[in-house]
Structure 1
């Protein structure tokens, strides 16, 4: 009996040591993810706590968290079995921000100045409902079947598609939403936000205010080998700086998103590992560094906040769009862009039309070619903050496809040869969702 008790005590101690070493350090990230997710989903898109917990937060370990919403203070508090309290605050115009104990929630803050697109045009160039359009070369039965097959049947929870929008020749030809979502639902694009961030460099370049081929304007790099890293290298994820992009553990990206006060510095502080333009390495830290560089190009913080909207989002009528900020006031350009599915499609159309929006050139046509040209170390998979199909990653889809891509299967797919944009928002990636088959079937419904 004594021997069994001794063995039991030893096993218990081993378990406790394991929990302390392997699990306890993760609780800060678990609570942080949960608080941020609940605050954003609730205050940006109006989802209730139960819906968020059963869908957005039903991720292993994240579902351990307990969450409480304070609607009066617009604050969410989360913890794991009473441990590691984390808070996220919602501020109108800035979205939800994960905060630490040093953050002053009463401190005044600036917000972007927004303008609503005002004209009498239908979608996509205006905010009126799209006009009915019928194309003789579209098999609508096949199209509707392809779109319907992107969604789960009743009672299933595998594909988990939330919305699909298809725009052909500038006309909305298909649109479908899962239960609980509609044309006004704002959905997080995750890393599709990277493509937004890159676009601002194209806008500045058209305005003659920046040269992406010059070294990145970072004072901390001027006296070491990092001084040779260009903005072009950063846009291509080719800086040679180390970065671990792993959401399943404590890594560079999870520490940045769920602990850092100033996310623009997470990649900046990394030492050189390789010569620039020799090693492709996907890095959300790099994109937030680019957001910080954008901030320095503008005279004031207010100008930085306004620029993201008046030069792009509000200009093309993405009035639902919201990019959230970190504690230091930087837009989290890697991950935290929200918009309706229709508005995400507008962004795809802007690139389909090579920067031209209803007659106004937002960025030069050469920029659309630039972002869709493979960087020489990505095996045809990546351009400049856009993903590519030039290497036949999707074998049954045109090779000229380039696309914005986000965690859990967000996609804005652009097909220049087809005059087509396809948007899918959801909660699953390959293999649970067959993107190759979905895109193939939608395209297959359109006869050339």
Structure 2
């Protein structure tokens, strides 16, 4: 009897997530209208190996030209997920090890005691667990503003300034600029763009199609058009799994759906909910300021991409993201 109940529960679980999300012409029109009304510039849906929706809206902010497939836009913090991939590639090339202290590559890079600094590893930065004082180093670019707050790997906080040191690690380990290393390692993938320096570090910019290609690379576990850009080894498996015990919804610079708890940027406390409760549990996301969204759902062979300005009609990007999925699943 128990065996039958277990089998029934297992089959129910499998079937509940095996139904394909379908996009009728009417649903696509509805989604495109929703994005148009919320300052989206590019909205793409890729499913089962092909683009089923590709829409561009509005104008570029600077020169007021129409936004189209050739227009560049910033990834904001979604570029963190690209950094995670580059770190993994560099580790496969034996140029670095994520368990190494950051100081092995950067020397003295904080104002804290060396014994504490040497405990901050590359993995600490990948998991947002450096232990540095996130209040004081919010826009930190020099060593004297990185201040000790907690032992590394004991507290999670979304700290962009600490994360930004990873680009420096890549440059020291590879002896190449971050732009050069990105271009060389992803050559031929369709992923091309430019790292732009801002007040807290580097931001990647590209076309929407380039952003989509990045999603396809990760969805296909390192392959595009039969070319292998990285092997799906332990690092890349762990990249998309809970990376530490403080925030179950965070991997290596990727957001994970379907977990029981989440910590959000700018907040110390946890919430007993998942990132996007209505979305498939196996979804993982590269997310950035003002609603830069790259949602990847392996069980649906699906990528949802949104680039654009802050919608303003929602109090925060989490709510916008969830409302987008409410409309996808209507």
Task: Please give the range of the TM-score, normalised by the shorter of the 2 chains.
Answer: 0.7 to 0.9
Partner of 1:213 in structure 2? 99
* Cα distance change, pair 378–171 in 1 and its aligned pair in 2 (3 A): farther
- Does residue 185 of structure 2 align to residue 311 of structure 1? yes
Show the counterpart of 1:324. 196
In structure 1, list runs of 5 or more residues that go unmatched.
Answer: 1-135, 154-158, 245-250, 257-262
Greater relative contact order (Cα < 8 A, sep 6+): 2
TM-score by length of 2: 0.76
Deviation at 1:352, TM superposition (A): 0.6
1:340 alignment counterpart: 207
After TM superposition, the structure 1 = structure 2 runs for residues 268-279 of structure 1, keeping only pairs within 5 Å, are: 270-279=146-155
For 1:399 and 1:149, locate their aligned partners in 2 and report how far apart those are by CA, in whole Å.
Answer: 26
Structure 1 CA distance for aligned equivalents of residues 310 and 114 of structure 2:
44
> What are the ranges of 5 or more consecutive residues in structure 2 without an aligned counterpart?
1-19, 60-66, 260-273
Match of 2:229 in 1: 362
Aligned equivalent of 1:145 = 29
Paired residue secondary structure (1:324) = strand
Of stretches 214-223 and 163-172 in structure 1, the one that deviates more from structure 2 is 214-223
Contact between 1:279 and 1:377, CA under 8 Å: does it hold in 2?
Answer: no
1: CA distance between counterparts of 2:92 and 2:133?
Answer: 31
Determine the C-alpha separation between the residues in 2 that align with 1:354 and 1:143: 29
Asked if the contact 1:396/1:437 (under 8 Å) is kept, the reply is: no
Change in 2 beyond 3 A, CA 1:357/1:332? farther
Distance 1:362 1:440, change over 3 A: farther
In structure 1, how many angstroms separate the alpha carbons of the residues matched to 2:278 and 2:315?
16
Alignment of structure 1 residues 430-445 onto 2, 5 Å: 430-431=314-315, 434-442=320-328, 444=329
Q: What is the CA distance between 1:231 and its match in structure 2?
A: 0.8
State whether residues 322 and 338 of structure 1, in contact with CA within 8 Å, keep that contact through their aligned partners in structure 2: yes
CA distance 1:353–1:219, change in 2 (3 Å)? same
Where in structure 2 are the equivalents of 1:6-405 lying within 5 Å? 138-153=22-37, 159-180=38-59, 181-216=67-102, 217=104, 218-220=106-108, 223-244=114-135, 252-253=137-138, 255-256=139-140, 263=141, 265=142, 270-299=146-175, 301=176, 304-312=178-186, 314-319=187-192, 321-325=193-197, 332-333=201-202, 336-366=203-233, 367-391=235-259, 392-405=274-287
Structure 1 residues 381 and 137: alpha-carbon distance in aligned structure 2, compared to 1, 3 A threshold = closer
From the superposition, tell whether residues 304 and 192 of structure 1 become closer, same or farther in structure 2 (CA, over 3 Å): closer
Q: Could you state the TM-score of these two structures normalised by the residue count of structure 1?
A: 0.57
- 1:29 paired residue number: none
Q: SS where residue 216 of structure 2 aligns?
A: helix
Whether contact under 8 Å (2:137, 2:146) holds in the other structure is no
Aligned residue for 1:220, secondary structure, equals coil
Offset, 1:225: 1.4
Give the C-alpha shift of residue 340 in structure 1.
1.1
Distance 2:325 2:80 in 1: 22
User: Kindly tell me: are residues 286 and 315 of structure 1, through their superposed partners in 2, closer, same or farther at Cα, counting changes over 3 Å?
Assistant: farther
Aligned-partner SS, 1:281: coil
Equivalent residues of 1:323, 1:332 under 8 A apart? no
Measure the CA separation in 2 of the matches of 1:440 and 1:354.
28
Cα shift at 1:172: 0.6
- Residues of 1 paired with 2:92 and 2:228: CA distance? 9
